[in-house]
Amino acid sequence: MVVASDLMALEMPLLMNKNYYNYSMKEATKKSMEEGVISGVPSLVFMFLCGYVYDIVGVKYTLSLACFLGGAGLMFYPLGAPNFTILVIGSCLFSIGEDLIG
């Protein structure tokens, strides 16, 4: 839950900043909810696949991949601005990394 609140604290000011996405408060909230729903799909899929990934690849490589995906996903937030599709891709990568760690 802490990660989700930290992500929301990162995302909302970025969506409303005029140098990045330049959405109003209402648009930013709507886009944030859309992004959360879309990134929930790969999160649900990987929730079931995580055990298999740990068994096949091993713990060390899985955790390394998870940290890389989480960091790469967070980098897409400011670097992909103002393209909303890149924001969603970054959010999906972050959620997959978060599922692999958890």
Which pLDDT tens digit goes with each residue over 28-68?
889 888 988 998 898 888 888 888 888 998 989 999 999 99
Nearest residue to 84 via CA among 43, 4, 42, 30: 30
CB 76 within 8 A of CB 86: yes
Angle, helices 59-79 vs 84-101, to 10°: value is 160
Domain residue spans in the chain?
2-101
Q: In whole angstroms, what is the distance from residue 56 CA to residue 15 CA?
A: 39
The owner of tokens 């959360």 is 36
Per-residue DSSP letter, 102: -
Q: pTM value?
A: 0.83
